[in-house]
């Protein structure tokens, strides 16, 4: 999401970083590039003018001219203004003081209202609420059936007394206003805490659509009216939002399809034009691809500053606290990290959602967007299949994996033996790292960092690697005769001692004693034994 806008803004700021002083021409050039980037992202022209005007006014003021790093100060100003037009701070849903909280969804057909109704219900259910979905869209073919399917996936009941239109050309049956009124009685009788009403949409704004939405609003008196808008419609978002604000008067906005090829114009325009806050964002097809909209976090994503807080929140939801405590205790005690542990950690990582999305939330990852996009999400599935094809004994002790066992595992997981070998090699590297961390030695040394106990070139216990060793440098003129070689070495030590001052780091602290020929017999004895 916002990929093109993020790239353009990041590229613009590169020219400012490191400059000790910014001229008015530098600032005007930066504002010009920001304006172009926003217009290319389909941001409404009035919003672009306001946004760039505020940035220019602040950039030419004292907060930039007196800054130690004016380039970074301009980025800070852009970030703050971006947060401002996105709403400043997130607003939670308003809940009813008595009775069920009623949330009405409105928007054009194809914006994703029905799917979003299920996601919102799933989200509220996770917070301890007891939502009820109401099928008040009786005109779109199979809209009622779709809501029932979504409700079943979310584990939320659906109130649908009317079947609605089931095929193209069929006449609408039932009254959506009456359905909404009956739903309120049903919710009170069954003591549901939240009622989510899915209403009909049109391909375009018309009087009939607005009248039906207004009648439903009057009938149920909702605590929140959420305008659901497709993030990919660009400049049309402003006209559509304005029409719904005048016809229905919504209280909040929900952005859908933020995972698509969206330019971001809708998100940056709707809040500024209507004055209504953006409450939620839908970022995929799964029920969990739904999040509370935080203006500061979204601004961070657009400016490639990352969104670590959202990443942490997702990790807290996905990771099992008991499993995390067990792993920490295991590392502390110095117990071996097994493939069973590896599988458990990987499954919890999968529960967090798409790896591409998680990587995109890290600061500076916009520069690696192409590599992230090329990442194969199915690699985790393949790895999981290989480990699950092993016996418990093989997972706990991969050293017993001989050729026949690896062949069986490859066949059972639908992979190649080379894939099994590659996984085992990666696991052994991870196991070494965990052992080093348990001993307090930090990360294992990488090649070229020396041959200590944790080095790849010298393994613990003095065992050398079987890899090819670097050839030793030959000393010029070194004799093969042991007696003569001993004389040459002694003469070299004498020369070094005479050239180096006392206490030198590269010489001896005191003069070397003269060579004693009587010692030669003892030295020769060592070689001749």
109 annotated to bind ligand: yes
391 annotated to bind ligand: no
The encoded tokens of residue 454 equal: 């944790």
CA-based nearest residue to 154, from 62, 257, 270, 290: 290
How far, in Å, are 308, 344, 366, 469 from residue 385 at the CA level?
Answer: 30, 13, 31, 38
CA 138 – CA 179 distance, rounded (Å): 10
199 annotated to bind ligand: yes
257 annotated to bind ligand: yes
Cα of 334 vs its chain's centroid, Å: 31
198 annotated to bind ligand: yes
Cα of 81 vs its chain's centroid, Å: 24
DSSP-based three-state secondary structure for 229: strand
113 annotated to bind ligand: yes
CA 437 – CA 460 distance, rounded (Å): 15
259 annotated to bind ligand: yes
How far, in Å, are 45, 78, 126, 152, 300 from residue 310 at the CA level?
Answer: 31, 21, 17, 27, 11
Q: Which residues contact 342 (CB under 8 A, 6 or more apart)?
A: 387, 427, 430
108 annotated to bind ligand: yes
CA 160 – CA 183 distance, rounded (Å): 9
The encoded tokens of residue 176 equal: 């959506």
164 annotated to bind ligand: no
111 annotated to bind ligand: yes
Please name the residue that has the structure tokens 């739903």.
Answer: 183
200 annotated to bind ligand: yes
Annotated binding site: 107-114, 198-202, 256-259
Annotated binding site for GTP: 107-114, 198-202, 256-259
């Amino acid at each position: 999401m916002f990929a093109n806008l993020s790239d353009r803004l990041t590229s613009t700021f590169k020219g400012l970083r490191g400059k000790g002083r910014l001229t008015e021409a530098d600032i005007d050039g930066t504002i010009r590039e920001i304006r172009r980037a926003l217009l290319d992202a389909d941001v409404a022209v009035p919003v672009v003018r306001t946004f760039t005007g505020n940035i220019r006014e602040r950039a030419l003021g004292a907060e930039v001219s007196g800054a130690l790093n004016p380039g970074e100060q301009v980025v800070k100003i852009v970030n703050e203004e971006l947060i401002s037009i996105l709403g400043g701070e997130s607003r939670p849903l308003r809940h009813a003081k008595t009775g069920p909280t009623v949330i009405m969804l409105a928007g054009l057909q194809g914006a994703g209202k029905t799917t979003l109704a299920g996601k919102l219900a799933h989200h509220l259910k996770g917070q301890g609420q007891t939502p009820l979905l109401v099928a008040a869209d009786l005109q779109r073919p199979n809209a009622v059936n779709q809501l029932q399917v979504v409700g079943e996936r979310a584990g939320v009941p659906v109130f649908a007394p009317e079947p609605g239109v089931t095929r193209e050309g069929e006449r609408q049956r039932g009254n959506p206003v009456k359905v909404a009124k009956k739903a309120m009685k049903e919710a009170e009788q069954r003591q549901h805490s939240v009622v989510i009403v899915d209403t009909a949409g049109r391909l375009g704004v018309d009087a009939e659509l607005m009248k039906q939405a207004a009648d439903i609003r009057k009938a149920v008196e909702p605590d929140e009216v959420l305008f659901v808008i497709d993030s990919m419609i660009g400049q049309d978002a402003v006209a559509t939002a304005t029409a719904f604000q005048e016809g229905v008067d919504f209280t909040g906005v929900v952005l859908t399809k933020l995972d698509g090829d969206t330019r971001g114009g809708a998100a940056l325009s709707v809040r500024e034009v209507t004055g209504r806050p953006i409450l939620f964002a839908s970022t995929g097809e799964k029920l969990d691809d739904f999040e509370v909209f935080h203006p500061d976090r979204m601004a961070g994503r657009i400016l490639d500053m990352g969104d670590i807080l959202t990443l942490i929140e997702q990790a807290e939801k996905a990771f099992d606290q008991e499993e995390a405590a067990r792993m920490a205790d295991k590392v502390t005690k110095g117990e071996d990290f097994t493939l069973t542990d590896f599988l458990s950690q990987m499954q919890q990582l999968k529960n967090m959602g798409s790896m591409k999305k998680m990587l995109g939330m890290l600061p500076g990852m916009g520069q690696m967007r192409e590599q992230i996009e090329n990442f194969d999400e199915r690699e985790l599935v393949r790895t999981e299949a290989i480990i699950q094809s092993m016996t418990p004994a093989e997972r706990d002790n991969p050293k017993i994996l001989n050729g026949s066992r690896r062949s069986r595992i490859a066949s059972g997981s639908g992979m190649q033996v080379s894939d099994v070998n590659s996984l085992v090699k990666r696991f052994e590297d991870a196991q070494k790292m965990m052992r080093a961390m348990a001993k307090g030695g930090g990360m294992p040394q990488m090649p070229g960092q020396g041959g200590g106990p944790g080095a790849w070139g010298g393994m613990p216990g003095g065992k050398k690697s079987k890899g090819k060793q670097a050839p030793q440098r030959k000393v010029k003129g070194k004799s093969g005769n042991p007696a003569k070689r001993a004389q040459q070495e002694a003469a070299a030590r004498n020369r070094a001692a005479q050239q180096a001052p006392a206490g030198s780091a590269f010489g001896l602290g005191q003069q070397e004693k003269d060579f004693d020929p009587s010692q030669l017999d003892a030295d020769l004895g060592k070689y001749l034994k």
